[in-house]
Amino acid sequence: MALNRDDYAGQLNALAPPGRALPRESDSQWQRLTQARAGAFSRVDGRAATLHEEADPRTTSELLPDWERVTAMPDPCVTGEQTVSERQDAVVRVLTGTGGASRPYFIGLADDLGYDIEVEDYTAHTVGSDVSEPIRGIDWRWAWTVRAAEETVRQLTVNSGVNEALATWGNERLECVFERLAPAHSILIFAYGETSW
Protein backbone atom coordinates (compact mmCIF):
# COMPACT_ATOMS: atom_id res chain seq x y z
CA MET A 1 0.00 0.00 0.00
CA ALA A 2 1.40 3.35 -1.06
CA LEU A 3 1.99 6.05 1.54
CA ASN A 4 0.27 9.38 0.95
CA ARG A 5 1.68 12.94 1.12
CA ASP A 6 0.84 13.38 4.82
CA ASP A 7 2.56 10.11 5.72
CA TYR A 8 5.76 11.24 4.01
CA ALA A 9 5.52 14.75 5.49
CA GLY A 10 5.27 13.20 8.95
CA GLN A 11 8.35 11.06 8.29
CA LEU A 12 10.34 14.02 6.97
CA ASN A 13 9.41 16.10 10.02
CA ALA A 14 10.38 13.22 12.32
CA LEU A 15 13.81 13.05 10.66
CA ALA A 16 14.42 16.82 10.82
CA PRO A 17 16.34 18.13 13.85
CA PRO A 18 14.34 20.27 16.31
CA GLY A 19 14.82 24.03 16.41
CA ARG A 20 13.57 27.39 15.19
CA ALA A 21 15.33 27.02 11.83
CA LEU A 22 12.91 24.22 10.87
CA PRO A 23 9.49 25.40 12.18
CA ARG A 24 6.60 22.96 12.54
CA GLU A 25 3.79 25.46 11.82
CA SER A 26 1.83 24.43 8.74
CA ASP A 27 1.99 27.90 7.12
CA SER A 28 5.80 28.18 7.37
CA GLN A 29 8.08 28.04 4.33
CA TRP A 30 9.80 24.95 5.73
CA GLN A 31 6.53 23.04 6.01
CA ARG A 32 5.49 24.05 2.47
CA LEU A 33 8.83 22.73 1.24
CA THR A 34 8.36 19.55 3.28
CA GLN A 35 4.88 19.07 1.76
CA ALA A 36 6.30 19.50 -1.76
CA ARG A 37 9.01 16.90 -1.09
CA ALA A 38 6.44 14.58 0.50
CA GLY A 39 4.27 14.88 -2.63
CA ALA A 40 7.16 13.77 -4.83
CA PHE A 41 7.90 10.80 -2.57
CA SER A 42 4.20 9.88 -2.53
CA ARG A 43 4.00 9.93 -6.36
CA VAL A 44 7.07 7.68 -6.64
CA ASP A 45 5.62 5.33 -4.04
CA GLY A 46 2.30 5.21 -5.91
CA ARG A 47 4.04 4.41 -9.18
CA ALA A 48 6.01 1.63 -7.47
CA ALA A 49 2.73 0.18 -6.16
CA THR A 50 1.25 0.13 -9.70
CA LEU A 51 4.39 -1.60 -10.97
CA HIS A 52 3.26 -4.65 -9.00
CA GLU A 53 0.14 -4.82 -11.18
CA GLU A 54 2.12 -4.10 -14.35
CA ALA A 55 4.48 -7.00 -13.60
CA ASP A 56 1.55 -9.42 -13.97
CA PRO A 57 0.34 -9.84 -17.58
CA ARG A 58 -3.19 -10.57 -16.33
CA THR A 59 -3.53 -7.05 -14.85
CA THR A 60 -1.12 -4.96 -16.91
CA SER A 61 -2.26 -1.96 -18.91
CA GLU A 62 0.65 0.47 -19.30
CA LEU A 63 3.24 -2.26 -19.94
CA LEU A 64 0.95 -4.37 -22.14
CA PRO A 65 2.80 -3.33 -25.33
CA ASP A 66 6.08 -4.53 -23.75
CA TRP A 67 4.50 -7.85 -22.77
CA GLU A 68 3.21 -8.20 -26.34
CA ARG A 69 6.63 -7.43 -27.79
CA VAL A 70 8.24 -10.11 -25.60
CA THR A 71 5.64 -12.73 -26.57
CA ALA A 72 5.57 -11.80 -30.29
CA MET A 73 2.03 -10.54 -30.10
CA PRO A 74 -0.37 -9.64 -31.56
CA ASP A 75 -1.11 -13.04 -32.97
CA PRO A 76 -0.88 -13.04 -36.78
CA CYS A 77 -4.37 -14.58 -36.79
CA VAL A 78 -5.91 -11.50 -35.21
CA THR A 79 -7.64 -9.18 -37.62
CA GLY A 80 -9.12 -5.91 -36.47
CA GLU A 81 -9.05 -4.43 -33.00
CA GLN A 82 -8.72 -6.50 -29.83
CA THR A 83 -9.99 -5.55 -26.40
CA VAL A 84 -7.48 -5.02 -23.61
CA SER A 85 -8.79 -8.17 -21.95
CA GLU A 86 -8.28 -10.22 -25.14
CA ARG A 87 -4.75 -8.85 -25.48
CA GLN A 88 -3.96 -9.74 -21.85
CA ASP A 89 -5.42 -13.24 -22.33
CA ALA A 90 -3.31 -13.75 -25.45
CA VAL A 91 -0.11 -12.83 -23.59
CA VAL A 92 -0.99 -15.14 -20.69
CA ARG A 93 -1.82 -17.95 -23.15
CA VAL A 94 1.62 -17.64 -24.77
CA LEU A 95 3.45 -17.49 -21.43
CA THR A 96 1.62 -20.39 -19.80
CA GLY A 97 0.83 -22.54 -22.82
CA THR A 98 2.54 -25.91 -23.00
CA GLY A 99 1.29 -26.88 -26.43
CA GLY A 100 -0.13 -30.23 -27.37
CA ALA A 101 -1.76 -32.36 -29.98
CA SER A 102 -4.56 -33.91 -27.98
CA ARG A 103 -8.29 -33.39 -28.20
CA PRO A 104 -8.48 -31.76 -24.71
CA TYR A 105 -5.68 -29.35 -25.65
CA PHE A 106 -7.51 -28.05 -28.72
CA ILE A 107 -10.87 -27.91 -26.94
CA GLY A 108 -9.24 -25.87 -24.15
CA LEU A 109 -7.50 -23.62 -26.67
CA ALA A 110 -10.80 -22.96 -28.43
CA ASP A 111 -12.41 -22.17 -25.08
CA ASP A 112 -9.62 -19.68 -24.32
CA LEU A 113 -10.29 -18.04 -27.68
CA GLY A 114 -14.03 -17.83 -26.91
CA TYR A 115 -15.27 -20.76 -29.02
CA ASP A 116 -17.30 -23.80 -27.98
CA ILE A 117 -16.24 -26.75 -30.14
CA GLU A 118 -16.31 -30.52 -30.46
CA VAL A 119 -13.48 -32.53 -31.98
CA GLU A 120 -14.11 -35.69 -33.98
CA ASP A 121 -11.33 -37.98 -35.16
CA TYR A 122 -11.52 -40.92 -37.52
CA THR A 123 -10.10 -44.39 -38.01
CA ALA A 124 -9.27 -46.12 -41.24
CA HIS A 125 -11.42 -49.08 -42.24
CA THR A 126 -9.51 -52.31 -41.68
CA VAL A 127 -10.26 -56.02 -41.89
CA GLY A 128 -11.31 -56.09 -38.23
CA SER A 129 -13.66 -53.06 -38.53
CA ASP A 130 -17.38 -53.38 -37.92
CA VAL A 131 -19.42 -53.72 -41.12
CA SER A 132 -21.59 -50.74 -40.16
CA GLU A 133 -18.59 -48.36 -40.01
CA PRO A 134 -17.94 -46.13 -43.03
CA ILE A 135 -15.22 -47.34 -45.37
CA ARG A 136 -12.39 -44.86 -45.09
CA GLY A 137 -8.92 -45.04 -46.59
CA ILE A 138 -5.70 -45.08 -44.58
CA ASP A 139 -5.32 -41.28 -44.80
CA TRP A 140 -8.43 -40.83 -42.61
CA ARG A 141 -6.50 -41.89 -39.52
CA TRP A 142 -4.77 -38.46 -39.67
CA ALA A 143 -7.98 -36.48 -40.22
CA TRP A 144 -9.94 -34.68 -37.53
CA THR A 145 -12.95 -32.40 -37.64
CA VAL A 146 -13.56 -29.33 -35.51
CA ARG A 147 -17.28 -28.73 -35.13
CA ALA A 148 -18.41 -25.28 -33.99
CA ALA A 149 -21.46 -23.07 -34.12
CA GLU A 150 -22.11 -21.47 -37.49
CA GLU A 151 -21.44 -18.00 -36.11
CA THR A 152 -19.70 -17.55 -32.75
CA VAL A 153 -20.36 -14.30 -30.85
CA ARG A 154 -17.87 -13.19 -28.20
CA GLN A 155 -19.42 -10.70 -25.75
CA LEU A 156 -17.89 -7.72 -23.96
CA THR A 157 -16.05 -8.71 -20.77
CA VAL A 158 -15.92 -6.96 -17.41
CA ASN A 159 -12.34 -5.74 -18.02
CA SER A 160 -13.18 -4.21 -21.41
CA GLY A 161 -12.61 -0.54 -22.03
CA VAL A 162 -15.12 2.13 -22.97
CA ASN A 163 -13.95 2.34 -26.58
CA GLU A 164 -14.14 -1.42 -27.20
CA ALA A 165 -16.81 -3.25 -29.17
CA LEU A 166 -19.71 -4.77 -27.24
CA ALA A 167 -19.38 -8.02 -29.22
CA THR A 168 -17.38 -9.60 -32.02
CA TRP A 169 -18.33 -12.55 -34.16
CA GLY A 170 -16.90 -14.88 -36.74
CA ASN A 171 -14.82 -18.05 -36.90
CA GLU A 172 -11.81 -16.86 -38.90
CA ARG A 173 -9.65 -16.57 -35.82
CA LEU A 174 -10.44 -20.13 -34.74
CA GLU A 175 -9.47 -21.48 -38.15
CA CYS A 176 -6.27 -19.45 -38.35
CA VAL A 177 -5.02 -20.46 -34.88
CA PHE A 178 -5.92 -24.13 -35.34
CA GLU A 179 -4.35 -24.35 -38.79
CA ARG A 180 -1.16 -22.83 -37.41
CA LEU A 181 -1.01 -25.13 -34.35
CA ALA A 182 -2.38 -28.38 -35.81
CA PRO A 183 0.14 -31.21 -36.10
CA ALA A 184 1.81 -31.03 -39.52
CA HIS A 185 0.86 -34.59 -40.47
CA SER A 186 -2.84 -34.12 -39.72
CA ILE A 187 -5.72 -33.18 -42.00
CA LEU A 188 -7.89 -30.54 -40.34
CA ILE A 189 -11.54 -30.15 -41.34
CA PHE A 190 -13.91 -27.45 -40.07
CA ALA A 191 -17.66 -28.02 -39.88
CA TYR A 192 -20.01 -25.25 -38.76
CA GLY A 193 -23.54 -25.63 -37.50
CA GLU A 194 -23.16 -29.41 -37.13
CA THR A 195 -22.69 -29.77 -33.40
CA SER A 196 -24.48 -32.14 -31.06
CA TRP A 197 -25.26 -29.50 -28.44
Lowest mean pLDDT among 22-31, 32-41, 116-125, 130-139: 130-139
Report pLDDT for 75. Answer: 80
Number of neighbours of residue 174 by Cβ within 10 angstroms: 21
The mean pLDDT value for 154-167 works out to 58
Which is nearest to 154 in space by CA: 164, 140, 141?
A: 164
The Cα-based distances of 56 to 44, 66, 74, 91, 163 in angstroms read 19, 12, 18, 10, 23
Report pLDDT for 133. Answer: 75
The mean pLDDT value for 16-30 works out to 87
pLDDT digits (tens, 9 = 90+) for 44-60: 988 888 888 899 999 99
Over 70: is that where the pLDDT of 155 sits? Answer: no
pLDDT digits (tens, 9 = 90+) for 105-138: 999 999 888 888 999 988 877 777 777 777 777 8
Report pLDDT for 132. Answer: 77
Report pLDDT for 68. Answer: 93
Per the confidence metrics, is the pTM higher than 0.85?
A: no
* Domain ranges within the chain, ordered by starting residue: 5-54, 99-192
